[in-house]
């Protein structure tokens, strides 16, 4: 893992999905095989394989303190092209620092992660007036999870996080994207732990080789997607 501390030029960027997005890191230690964020390499100049590098924007909080006073208040996505709670966050606390600033300024926030580390910041999350926290969960099958996202936290741990946040009266959601084999088994484990479910086919071409290597090509069909979606349509 090649880790570099860098100074970014900006941190609160316009987003096509929400109003703004904050990415405290470039790259992601989870290195999921299907991750759409791999496209970032075209702009960052990294030659290393996705998952082998992370740039740490050590001035993220300093930038946000300035930018939040100059830009129009809007919903902030944390994060879009990295996991804001990847393992390095435990050391650098960039996501926590940014959330503190957003909370102090009462900006609406939507968090998306795969990591139980988000619970570290539950003190801040409870203070936020307009907040949603989502866990990306692509399958209920740990064996499938290990094929496509071996470095990510376990499914059991992610569902437990949703349960704890939901019990703390924090609005929660699960993001099933991509819909991997075994996703239909998420229906029961997620019941009562989320406020809503997001489903997206999102079978990125980056992971096609994983499907082929493991004889799962039939799970890339429209039939698989539609059948699985029906089983998950419970919220």
Across 132-158, average pLDDT? 97
Cα(146)–Cα(32) distance, rounded to whole angstroms? 10
Give the model confidence (pLDDT) of 70-96 as tens digits: 999 999 999 999 999 999 999 999 999
pLDDT of residue 220: 87
Mean confidence (pLDDT) of the chain: 93
Asked whether the beta carbons of 55 and 23 are under 8 A apart, the reply is: no
> For residue 139, what pLDDT band results from cuts at 50, 70 and 90?
very high
pLDDT of residue 108: 98
Q: What percent of the chain clears pLDDT 70, i.e. is strictly above it?
A: 97
pLDDT of residue 60: 98
Q: Name the pairing type of β-strands 109-113 and 20-21.
A: unpaired
pLDDT higher than 60, residue 235: no
pLDDT of residue 50: 83
Give the model confidence (pLDDT) of 157-180 as tens digits: 999 999 999 999 999 999 999 999
Give the model confidence (pLDDT) of 211-224 as tens digits: 999 999 999 888 98
Across 99-120, average pLDDT? 98
pLDDT of residue 234: 59
Across 133-154, average pLDDT? 97
Across 181-201, average pLDDT? 93
Nearest to 199 by CA among 211, 183, 188: 183
pLDDT higher than 70, residue 203: no
Q: What percent of the chain clears pLDDT 90, i.e. is strictly above it?
A: 81
Domains of the chain, earliest start first: 2-232 (3.20.20.70)
């Amino acid at each position: 893992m090649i880790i570099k501390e860098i100074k970014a030029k900006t941190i609160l960027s316009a987003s096509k999905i929400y109003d703004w997005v904050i990415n405290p890191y470039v790259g992601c230690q989870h290195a999921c095989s299907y991750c759409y964020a791999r496209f970032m390499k075209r702009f960052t100049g990294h030659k290393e394989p996705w998952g082998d590098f992370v740039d740490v924007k050590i001035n993220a909080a300093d930038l946000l303190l300035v930018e939040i006073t100059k830009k129009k208040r809007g919903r902030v996505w944390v994060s879009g092209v990295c996991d804001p709670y990847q393992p390095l966050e435990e050391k650098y606390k960039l996501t926590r620092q940014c959330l503190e600033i957003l909370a102090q300024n009462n900006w609406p926030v939507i968090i998306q992660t795969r990591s139980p580390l988000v619970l570290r910041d539950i003190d801040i999350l409870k203070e936020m007036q307009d907040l949603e926290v989502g866990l990306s969960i692509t399958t209920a099958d740990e064996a499938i999870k290990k094929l496509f996202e071996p470095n990510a936290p376990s499914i059991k741990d992610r569902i437990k996080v949703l349960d704890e946040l939901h019990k703390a009266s924090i609005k929660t959601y699960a993001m099933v994207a991509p819909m991997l084999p075994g996703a239909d088994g998420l229906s029961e484990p997620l019941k009562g732990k989320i406020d809503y479910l997001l489903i997206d086919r999102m079978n990125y071409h980056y992971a096609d080789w994983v499907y082929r290597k493991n004889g799962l090509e039939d799970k890339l069909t429209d039939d698989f997607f539609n059948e699985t979606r029906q089983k998950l349509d419970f919220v």
